[in-house]
Amino acid sequence: MTKPKIGFIGLGFMGVGMAANLVAKGYPLMVRGNRNRAPIDRLLALGAVEASSPRAMAEACDIIHLCLPDSPAVEAVLRGPDGIMASGKAGLIVIDATTADPNSTVALAAEMGALGMVLVDAPLGRTPAEAEAGTLDAMVGCDDAVLAQIHPVISTWAGNINHMGPVGSAHRMKLVMNFIGMGYAALYSEALVMAVKSGLSPQDVQRVIGSSRLTNGMFDSFMKYAVGRDVNAHKFTIQNAAKDTRYIAGMAMAAGMANPMGAAIRNAFAQAEAAGKGGDYVPSLSDHVAALNGLDLAAAVKKG
């Protein structure tokens, strides 16, 4: 059976690995990137072709992936004058792997549905390493019939696929996941600084918590930077984390709930972003919190 032609827009840390797996599994691929040519050139060398615009990609493809920074970027690609919806291509499926605002997702899905197109939210769990390995977590929002159609495609880059329900539900689940993950990052940052300011070493925290029931994957990757000083241990920027915590706040407000922990986490990342640290990766929040408290965490690690 002929495989559907796949498009991919957004070739960042996660997208490039996902797209490479699609090519490796035999799917014809069309790509569109941004200013960085390196991932585009890598995929072209593997056999992909480059689209001149989102509209041109929609006209040529059966399924398009989006893996973009935020909802405004998704809206621009879909609604723009040369965007995907401008193609008017009935039957097109768009899989949005962006960590996005669920309210925007639901609105976009309705607009696309009126044109005979389908929007699926399929945000990601894990890291660029798993994107390269094809073992990401995927949360998927769509109906059962669409899931059956796209499951083989998603399986090329995801090892764990959870169907959450209708469109929008997967983006809500992803925000719950990132609420927990960014909460860990904020908590670990303060815990490290508290430990060092109280006479313990960063290595003490890593050793004791890392061998206890409190350890987890987020703790491991966070400490690989905070203590091991591996800058690439968790390649997710503070700017993206700050965006996600804003979306989380919006979801909590829409649910009409008290969200004091969310407010504290959002403020931690908003403060770091406002201080010019947005391009740094999330575990470096520990350095920012340390500096606010008159501490050089790297020096404390070196001292041991």
- Which amino acids are annotated catalytic? 174
- Give the Cβ contact number of residue 35 at 10 Å: 4
Furthest CA-CA distance within the chain: 65
Tokens of 173: 């689940």
Tokens of 66: 């989006």
User: Could you please report the per-residue DSSP string of 235-268?
Assistant: --BHHHHHHHHHHHHHHHHHHT---HHHHHHHHH
- Looking at residue 182, its amino acid is M
120 sits in which H/E element: strand 118-121
Q: Distance of CA 48 to CAs 23, 62, 77, 103, 152, Å?
A: 7, 15, 20, 33, 19
The alpha carbon of residue 7 and the mean position of all alpha carbons in its chain are separated, in whole angstroms, by 18
- Kindly report the backbone phi and psi dihedral angles of residue 94, in degrees, each rounded to the nearest multiple of 5, phi listed first: -115, 120
DSSP single-letter state for residue 281: B
Tokens of 187: 């908590």
- Give the Cβ contact number of residue 34 at 10 Å: 14
Dist. CA 24–CA 172, nearest whole Å? 31
